[in-house]
Amino acid sequence: MQEKEEYRSEINLLDYINILARHKNLIIITVAITVVATAIISFLSPKIYEAKAVIMPVAQSQEPSGMSAVALQFGITTNQTSNTSELFSLLQSNILMERVIIKNNLVPVFFGEEAKGKKENELIWDGIRYLKNSIYKVRDNKRDGIIELSVEFKDPEMSASILTGILAELTDYMSSEAKRVAATNKNYLESLIDKNSDPLIKQKIYALIARQIEVSMMAEVKENFAFKILDPPKIPDRKMRPHISMNIMLSFIISLVGGICLAFIMEHIERSKKSMHKPGN
């Protein structure tokens, strides 16, 4: 009984091999066309380069509890640096993307001749969408407390330049916002001096004014004000895609499997036709 089962399995295996042998030309042609087409497309596809950068938010300075309480009493905040979530949100904001596009004149770089005839506002929005959806990526690495940025572009120098521009605009924007808030707080606190006759309250107001001046001076320096650049953008020396050899290997495997499946389908169709033409059917 066992010998019969082994014999049947050998026959079934031989049947499969015979089917593949009968349709070997179909399999070879399928594999050849797919591999050649993949190779041509891979060779003709533009090379894409990726520039990377890593930044780390600067830890917020801890104000004395008394100073913070007094500041809140007057309706102002004393901590001016941003935490990771705020920095991450700003890196993906439309306002930052718009500043980068305008400052670095990226519309012609992104769209070339396609930009002609369009309104400026439309081009800016197209540029923002192109940046955020196609070439620019931000990842919040919560485990290490860092933020990873990357820009993919066909020109290696431009990919690094765009990423450098993003970090520069981020620094300028956060610095200017910190100075604006500090100036607003300072003016408000100065207006309270004449309204309060209590020497103790005046002393606290002067301390808060001094703090706002300190924040404004720190923001003026800019470097390491809100974040540190741990790994600055560099011009990539190798393309990130296309992976020609990998694409060819994958196309070979997929087309081989597809060719084998196609061979069995063709065999099934041929047998169905023969059974239909047999006498008595």
Taking the chain (281 residues) in runs of 10, the rounded mean pLDDT of each run is: 48 79 91 94 92 87 53 58 79 95 94 86 95 95 93 96 95 88 86 80 83 81 80 94 92 95 88 71 52
Place of tokens 């091999």: 17
254 and 214 in a common domain: no
Tell me, what's the pLDDT at 129? 96
Q: Please indicate, yes or no, whether residues 252 and 202 belong to a single structural domain of this protein.
A: no
- Is residue 72 a part of any domain in this protein? yes
Q: Is 157 in the same domain as 263?
A: no
Q: Which residues span the domain enclosing 262?
A: 2-45+242-275
Output the pLDDT for position 1: 47
Identify the pLDDT of residue 39. Answer: 93
Q: What is the pLDDT of residue 233?
A: 96
- Is the same domain home to 180 and 125? yes
Q: How many Å apart are CA 223 and CA 227, to the nearest integer?
A: 8
**Domain CATH number, residue 83:** 3.30.1890
For residue 82, the model assigns a pLDDT of 56
pLDDT at position 207 is: 84
**In the prediction, which pLDDT does 158 show?**
96
* pTM of the complete model beyond 0.85: no
Residues 130, 253: one domain?
no
d(CA 163, CA 152): 9
Q: Is residue 97 part of a domain?
A: yes
- CB-CB contact of 175 with 217 (8 Å): no
**Strand partners of residue 50:** 152
Confidence at residue 194, expressed as pLDDT on a 0 to 100 scale: 79
Same domain (yes/no): 113, 32: no
User: Do 246 and 207 belong to one domain?
Assistant: no
SS3 category, 146: strand
Give the integer Cα–Cα distance in Å for 277 and 280. 8
Of 219, 195, 180, 174, residue with least CA distance to 74: 195
Helix and strand numbers, DSSP H then E, in the chain: 10, 4
Q: Say if strands 227-231 and 49-57 run parallel, antiparallel, or are unpaired.
A: antiparallel
Same-domain status, 112 and 143: yes
Are residues 93 and 215 part of one domain?
yes
- Taking the C-alpha atoms of residue 94 and residue 194, their distance in angstroms, rounded to an integer, is 42
Distance, in Å, from the CA atom of 82 to the CA atom of 14, rounded to the nearest integer, reads 71
pLDDT of residue 54: 97
In the prediction, which pLDDT does 114 show?
86
Helices (H), 62-196: 65-73, 84-91, 94-104, 107-111, 120-130, 156-193
